[in-house]
Amino acid sequence: MTDRLIAHLDMDAFYASVELLRYPELRGAPVVIGGGSRHQPEETVDPVTGAAVRRFTRLSEYTGRGVATTATYEARALGVHSAMGLMKAARLAPDAWLLPTDFDTYRQYSRRFKAAVREIAPQVEESGIDEIYIDLTDVGLPPAVSARIETPAAASERARRVARAIKDAVRAATRLSCSIGVTPNKLLSKIASELDKPDGLTVLTAADVPARIWPLPARKINGVGPKTAARLEALGIATIGDLARADPAWLIDEFGSSRGAWMHEAANGRDDRSVVTASEPVTISRETTFERDLSAQRDRAELSAIFTELCEELAGDLQRKGYVGRTIGLKVRYSNFKIVTRDRTIPKPTHDAIEIRRVAGECLKRVPLELRIRLLGVRISGLCRPEDVASSALSVAEPRSEPSLFDE
């Protein structure tokens, strides 16, 4: 098998970098993200010049038990890091600026950078809000060249070219920088993306493992947590190289057969997990077949209750899975087993039960209701993520919705 080209991309100081886009005056200063709404910058007007000014909170003003989600590289230089208590961070960097965490905005930027990458390389695996794995094995190959006949040097050259294009696309879409590692597998790429942060680009082959990977501490292997690292340390194993050179049988004795064997493989840079692209659902639906066929005339109350319940379940599915949709559809199967469907697309996407019920009710007015009904279903398509839509652009029904046929 030829080597794969797997990239790991991770955004630089992600939450902090997003904040700097709206507060460019803080660029170059130590900034820590992790406050609450009371640390929202105050917008005022300078009484003399009339210019808008913002007042930010100094980290030294913080009291409470909150932790830093992240910090700019300037704050990291003072010793502040993710998950550090803010009071402790304030002792290290009292003059740093503190900003509240705004997950909605970070999620929006997350979707944006991932979409930009997918335009260039569609094989993307989400592995966190600010990071993805990308399979570049077949991306950017010159026509009539297959990855199988490409020389290793040409493959590395192509990896660098494609990764550079991805970094440019991420910057164009978000004005943010990221770091990318490209190696033959996910495990090595996850380590490599960190080697040259921020704004890094590191391409490694299996031959680079001894020089570039082995000197690193064992905890740099994704999956070796602080506890395992401490145990390894106590056994005299500090670096990935120590682990690679350890006797696998001894590791298995110490850590069990699967973990011991895995650690040895990982330290030697071997990992054959593939990049798993999660497919987004196209539609979400709910339907029910009745115990007995129901008549739109005689069983109106029962049908109406079931119809409402289906819409509520569908809205619950959407909210749980984190989608909103624009096309709401209705499916009716009659006692003679014939099916009719109707759908309607609304201008703004929704995940609201009342709104779904209202639109599905309109669809219901367009189906014949002379025959008894055997099955009723509602579905929604045209799905997207609510964070991709400004909240004012979400469709929510007025509390009193228009009555549908079943309610009349």
Applying CB under 6 A, which residues contact ligand TTP?
A: 10-15, 69-70, 82-83, 129-130, 197-198
Cα(121)–Cα(115) distance, integer angstroms: 10
Question: Nearer to Mg ion by C-beta: 273 or 338?
Answer: 273
Is the four-CA dihedral 127, 181, 72, 172 of positive or negative sign? negative
70 binds, among ligand TTP, Mg ion, none (CB under 5 to 8 A by kind): ligand TTP
Would you count residue 130 as binding Mg ion (CB under 5 A)?
yes
Per-residue CA distances from 119 to 6, 175, 181, 264, 398 (Å): 17, 17, 19, 37, 38
Nearer of residues 177 and 295 to ligand TTP, judged by Cβ: 177
Distances in Å between the alpha carbon of 49 and those of 23, 41, 56, 93, 292? 20, 20, 19, 31, 77
Interaction partner, residue 15 (ligand TTP, Mg ion, none; CB < 5-8 Å by kind): ligand TTP
Q: How far is the CB of 83 from ligand TTP (least distance, A)?
A: 4
| Least CB distance to ligand TTP at residue 86 (A) | 13
Question: Which does residue 85 bind out of Mg ion, ligand TTP, none, counting CB within 5 to 8 angstroms by kind?
Answer: none
14 counts as binding Mg ion under rule CB under 5 A: yes
Q: How far is the CB of 177 from ligand TTP (least distance, A)?
A: 9
Q: Which residue spans within 335-407 are E strands per DSSP?
A: 339-350, 373-381
Q: Does 74 bind Mg ion (CB under 5 A)?
A: no
Nearest to 60 by CA among 15, 92, 14, 25: 92
Nearer to ligand TTP, 20 or 155 (CB): 20
Burial of residue 315 (CB within 10 Å: 0-12, 13-18, 19+) is buried
Residue 334's beta-bridge partner residues? 373
* 188 and 181 Cβ atoms separated by less than 8 Å: yes
Residue 69 interacts, among ligand TTP, Mg ion, none and using kind-specific CB cut-offs from 5 to 8 Å, with ligand TTP
Report yes or no: 275 and 186 within 8 Å, Cβ to Cβ.
Answer: yes
Nearer to ligand TTP, 13 or 246 (CB): 13
Among 74, 125, 131, 343, binds Mg ion (CB under 5 A): 131
Annotation says 408 is catalytic: no
Is residue 99 within the footprint of Mg ion (CB under 5 A)?
Answer: no
- Smallest gap from Cβ 190 to ligand TTP, in A, equals 11
Spot the catalytic one: 19, 74, 125, 131. Answer: 131
Integer Cα distance of 255 and 70 in angstroms: 33
* Smallest separation (angstroms) from ligand TTP to the CB of 132: 11
Residue 183 to residues 145, 217, 302, 321, Cα–Cα distance (Å): 20, 19, 60, 33
Between 8 and 326, CB nearer to ligand TTP: 8
Residues that bind Mg ion (CB under 5 A): 10-11, 14, 130-131
Catalytic amino acids?
131
